[in-house]
Amino acid sequence: MLAKMLKPRLILAKSILIAGVILNTSLALSYDDSLKCFNPNGRIGRCISVYECTTILGIIRNQRSTEIAFARQSECPNGRGRRPYVCCTVDTGFVQRTQLNGQRIVFPRDDDTFTYSSKPRPYTERPQNNDDLYPKPPVCGPISVVNKIYGGEEAELGEFPWLANLEHKKANGALVSVCAGNIINHRYVLTAGHCIKGKIEEKVGKLVSIRIGDHNTQTPVDCNNHGCIAPFQRLNVERIMVHPEFNSDPSIYNINDIALVRTDRSIVYSETVAPICLPDALPSLGPLRSGIKLTVAGWGHNGTAKYTAAKQKVEVPYVENSVCPHKLVDSQLCAGGEYRKDSCTGDSGGALTRLSPHGWCVEGIVSYGRGCGLETPAIYTRVRSFLNWIHSNVVP
């Protein structure tokens, strides 16, 4: 009698066991080994685009400094979708080994679910109309995993891909770069008016070309321990537009210090070449507040050399115009004032940028300062004040 009662249960147990084996086999086959990776905690994950991984993207967007190191160490070399790639898991920081229950995970468990898209996102620009003239994230202001600089640190390869070197031709025919610019779409670079017009024409020469996709200006190919980036692109200048009221008021230094440069052919976007977002591409971004951290990058004075070969970056605080030691108008903004942290000679025309939850946007253009890194803020052209002028001068 007991044997008859147990027989159906044994059959049911065998059926469950067989089903479990089939299910586990199915999961194992469906898990793409080519994307398998281990994060810094030793937890298994998938090597995918940072834009598809909500955990790592959240660290970068929120600039949680204690976890940035974890995000950087989560990079992986061979993923899918748009670079950079990260080993995506539920982890948002370093954990103790005991927190991982002392086990290596062969396949993700039910409680180890993490968010990623099932479809890869290749880094190609979709057909655009107005968005081609004024790109939206993630085409503009791409976020890096690491995401004239005085006292700054060297940027990562491919970081700040909108930065360009403006090349002037001297009387002897040599090309020199003493200013920077910022790609805003496939044909236009935003820069400072004083990088185009005035003393620079007399002392240096005429602007003739733009160099983009560069990191170290003294090396033909830029590499690090993870590989090399594509060589720089050089484009000739087709047209220059300096604001018509640049330096129109002698009582306000470098007033309306802004200009647009149109290239002779289309700028090809890549992992190391991309536009910066204009502020109106991110309408949800609130106004600047005193003390908010902004970032400036370039090849300028770093405290030891007038011009640096490698791209540098530094964070500076926003300073309200009302307490800025310089005489300003509303179309200018003030930032900096920390010792040995400043924009400087050679950074002119570069962008003062702000990291939003969706990408980087340009808030200012490097205009001038009084000394470098001497606890006196530098002055930038406030880009928000010139959006109508930019829109009226940018054409397909």
pLDDT in tens, 205-242: 999 999 999 888 778 778 877 778 888 899 999 999 99
Look at the alpha carbons of 95, 97, 102, 108 in this order and tell me if their dihedral is positive or negative.
positive
- Summarised one tens digit per residue, pLDDT across range 128-178 is 457 789 999 989 999 876 543 333 456 777 889 999 999 999 999 999 988
Distance CA 311, CA 329 (A): 30
On whether residue 286 sits in a domain, the answer given is yes
Using the structure block, give the residue that is written with the tokens 């990408």: 359
Tell which of 88, 106, 132 closes a domain: 88
Query: 186, 194, 215, 243: which is the annotated catalytic residue?
Result: 194
> Per-residue DSSP letters for 146-160?
---EES-EEPPTTSS
Report whether 118 contacts 341 (CB < 8 A). no
pLDDT above 70: percentage of residues in the chain? 73
- For the residues 333-339, what does the mean pLDDT come to? 80
Distance CA 367, CA 354 (A): 17
Q: Predicted confidence band at 100 (pLDDT cuts at 50, 70, 90)?
A: very low
Q: Predicted confidence band at 264 (pLDDT cuts at 50, 70, 90)?
A: very high
User: For residue 26, what is the enclosing H or E element?
Assistant: helix 2-30
137 or 1: which leads in pLDDT: 137
Supply the CATH number for residue 240's domain.
2.40.10.10
On whether residue 82 sits in a domain, the answer given is yes
74 and 164 fall within a common domain: no
Token pair in block for residue 126: 């979709």
Distance CA 289, CA 23 (A): 54
- Summarised one tens digit per residue, pLDDT across range 289-318 is 999 999 998 886 444 445 577 888 888 999
Supply the CATH number for residue 72's domain.
3.30.1640
83 and 162 fall within a common domain: no
On whether residue 95 sits in a domain, the answer given is no
Tell which of 213, 228, 263 closes a domain: 263
pLDDT above 90: percentage of residues in the chain? 43
253 and 293 fall within a common domain: no
Q: Is 194 a catalytic residue?
A: yes
- For the residues 56-64, what does the mean pLDDT come to? 75
172 and 224 fall within a common domain: yes
Query: 343, 348, 356, 367: which is the annotated catalytic residue?
Result: 348
Our CA dihedral for 297, 146, 233, 52, rounded to 10 degrees, sits at -130
On whether residue 307 sits in a domain, the answer given is yes
165 and 253 fall within a common domain: yes
On whether residue 389 sits in a domain, the answer given is no
296 and 357 fall within a common domain: yes
Within a 13 Å sphere around the CA of 155, how many CA atoms are in the beta-carbon half?
29
Range of the domain at 62: 35-88
On whether residue 321 sits in a domain, the answer given is yes
On whether residue 83 sits in a domain, the answer given is yes
Query: How many domains, in total, are found in the chain?
Result: 3
Tell which of 238, 263, 288 closes a domain: 263
Longest pairwise C-alpha distance within the chain: 108
pTM for the structure as a whole = 0.71
Report whether 294 contacts 353 (CB < 8 A). yes
Query: 257, 347, 358, 367: which is the annotated catalytic residue?
Result: 257
Q: Is 264 a catalytic residue?
A: no
252 and 293 fall within a common domain: no
Which CA distances in Å does 212 have to 19, 162, 165, 187, 335? 57, 8, 6, 12, 26
227 and 286 fall within a common domain: no
Q: Is 348 a catalytic residue?
A: yes
